[in-house]
Structure 1
């Protein structure tokens, strides 16, 4: 494509996965950050499902839905991120969608149940991370022994916890090591600089 433009709120949230894929993949893009409230309500009808993120390709073709955007960008930058065979692809999908389930469990309480979030995380974090700890104790990556889309999304979760309750991240050393390994990639280091200072959510809590 000749141009890529990401539309999202001025937060990290669901914008981090496309941003990290584009920056680590060497793609140039622009970003329109639309604040919640009146500005967002005015723009909401412009988007096919009335939600963001949206990736606009070549100024005219919009891709909505986070997973569709992520898969498009993976195919664009490094198709191997989705698996090289049908079995590898199923393994990537398995880990990617499990990661997204956990991502929703981590992000949701910032909006819905912040008064009990610390207890929830104390109770659930290690069990949420148990399958990831087991997989990463055997391999540097979640699926097929190589970098995949699932690794980028697990990095999203680890980043949230690193900034909110780093002591919990320390309780899952393999996930912590995976986060640091991802962060050592030059493109991911560049991504972290790009999002520096952005809040993670629109909740006012992180």
Structure 2
């Protein structure tokens, strides 16, 4: 009997969307348990580290950490590497995308307006061009994918979180990077992903 899955996250794309992409790619049924911000204070103390997403398996095991969950589901749907070196390459791509996310989040959620403006200036002039140009070269070398020359969970992770990153950055991050556009196009052309994106809830982020 196949395991049952329940993904608990806010009613957002953000960190939950790459996991949803992976489940839909694999045609695996799961409960998409979306909670509202008002319900979070009551739930937070019951979570392992006070953060979401969480993935419950058969109502027993509870997994945490979004990237670790995505990696687990990627193994279930066979979007991982063929050996340790390929898995390193995939993991490194995901970690680089996550580095970009962390830098964008630090700026977007900064409450001091002067510091926020300075952080965004650094992002625009230095950080984003540095990371995105290298990711674009990586995608070119891998023929429209982020690693190992074929579709892996790194691609679904990147495209799944990209809408959220664009909102944080207040721009289309891949507009000037044709090979990253190709990664997005390749992922969104997958029938099950395309169908999910067309029907998914209208998220806040």
TM-score normalised by structure 1 residue count: 0.85
| Distance across 2 between alignment mates of 1:144 and 1:125 | 23
Q: 1:90 to 1:21 in 2, by over 3 A?
A: same
Does residue 132 (structure 1) correspond to residue 130 (structure 2)? The answer is no
- Secondary structure of 2:90's aligned partner: helix
User: What TM-score do you get using the length of structure 2 for normalisation?
Assistant: 0.85
Q: How do 1:115-194 and structure 2 match up within 5 A?
A: 116=117, 119-123=121-125, 124-138=127-141, 139-160=143-164, 164-166=170-172, 168-194=173-199
Determine the structure 1 residue equivalent to 2:7. 6
Runs of 5+ unmatched residues, structure 2:
none
Q: Write the distance in 2 (CA, Å) between the matches of 1:157 and 1:128.
A: 16
Contact preservation (8 Å) 2:14, 2:161: no
State the match for 2:17 in structure 1.
16
Gap runs ≥5 in structure 1: 201-206
**Matched residues, number:** 196
Equivalent positions of 1:4-83 (< 5 A) are: 4-37=5-38, 39-78=39-78, 81-83=79-81
Report deviation, 1:8: 0.6
CA contact (8 A) 2:15 2:161 kept: no
Q: 1:65 to 1:142 in 2, by over 3 A?
A: same
Whether the 8 Å contact between 1:161 and 1:169 is mirrored in structure 2 is: no
**Cα-Cα RMSD:** 2.1
SS in 2 for 1:6: strand
- Out of 114-123 and 27-36, give the one that drifted further: 114-123
> Are the equivalent residues in 2 in contact too, given 1:23–1:191 (CA < 8 A)?
yes
1:98 corresponds in structure 2 to 96
